[in-house]
A = this chain, B = another copy of it.
Amino acid sequence: MSEGAATSYPLSARNRVKRRHDRGFYDQATVHAVLDASMLCHVAYVVDGQPYCTPTFFWREGTTLYWHGSSASRMLESQAAGLKVCLTVAHLDSLVLARCGFNHSADYRAVMAFGTARLVTDGQQKERALVAMVDRFFPDRTAGLRASTAQEIKATSVIAMEIEQASAKIRAKGVADDEEDYELPIYAERIPVRTVLGAPEACPRLRNGVARPASLQGYSEGRLLEDALTGAQRHYSRQE
């Protein structure tokens, strides 16, 4: 797939990286890689001048982001025109301890995506989205589940947002001190930070003879969560 390899999101004051602009990226490949490595995002929206920042699960299909369960969905019911949103994903990669306070920092990858959120109300689109909500993370899982009831489908809000603009901000250089400070007898280091999967804990009420399906092999003990998610996204994109 050549998706986004050379395409960039349009740039304006809204998404231009302001502080440390040397860390800014706008190409779809970089932006999507940061997004696809996460399931957790933070969605900012405004109601009556008050900002809200809601953590929720999300997923990507092309240049559209989807999420659900946000309290923004109640607002959206009365706003057919949609709601301005900034959806942000951040990965903390390391803590950076430098030789002065000012150069203490972190390695990280973050994306801010801007657009207008709308409720997915079309029945067929919503049904497809509810499958994607599970299968994007856990390959082919929906096929083996108890089917959703009409009540469950009704009780789930799905929100969609076309990415109008986005920026990625990435730092990946560990300790970076002022040149003259390297001579000082001060300890400096980088501490890697990793988000990993623990050993899966089967439900204690599992029926006899029910085994873990092979489709979950990407979620194995000790694996990086982001590797499992990126792998699952590749699998899901191939099937679309």
List A residues at the B interface (Cβ < 8 Å): 14, 18-19, 39-40, 42-46, 49-55, 57, 69, 71, 74, 84-88, 90, 92, 94-95, 97, 99-102, 104, 106, 108, 110, 112, 114, 130-131, 133-134, 137-138, 141-142, 144-149, 152, 155-156, 174-175, 177, 181-203, 205-207, 209-213, 216, 219, 225
Nearest residue in B to A148 (C-beta to C-beta)?
Answer: B101
**Stoichiometry, copies per complex:** 2
Contacts of A97 in B (CB 8 A): 138, 141, 216
Q: A71-B19, A101-B133, A145-B99 are in contact. Are A40 and B92 (CB under 8 A)?
A: yes
Contacts of A175 in B (CB 8 A): 203, 205
Nearest residue in B to A156 (C-beta to C-beta)?
Answer: B102
B101 touches A134 (CB 8 A): yes
Nearest residue in B to A205 (C-beta to C-beta)?
Answer: B182
A186 touches B42 (CB 8 A): no
A197 touches B190 (CB 8 A): no
B46 touches A46 (CB 8 A): yes
A90 touches B189 (CB 8 A): no
Q: A43-B53, A101-B131, A101-B134 are in contact. Are A192 and B187 (CB under 8 A)?
A: no
Contacts of A216 in B (CB 8 A): 97, 187, 189
Question: Of B55, B99, B114, B192, which one neighbours A201 at CB under 8 angstroms?
Answer: B192
Q: Please, could you name 29 A-B residue pairs with CB atoms under 8 Å apart, sorted by A?
A: A14-B50, A19-B69, A19-B71, A40-B90, A44-B44, A44-B52, A51-B84, A54-B112, A92-B195, A101-B133, A101-B134, A101-B142, A102-B148, A102-B155, A104-B138, A144-B186, A146-B181, A174-B203, A182-B205, A187-B202, A187-B216, A188-B206, A189-B212, A191-B201, A191-B219, A193-B198, A194-B196, A195-B195, A196-B196
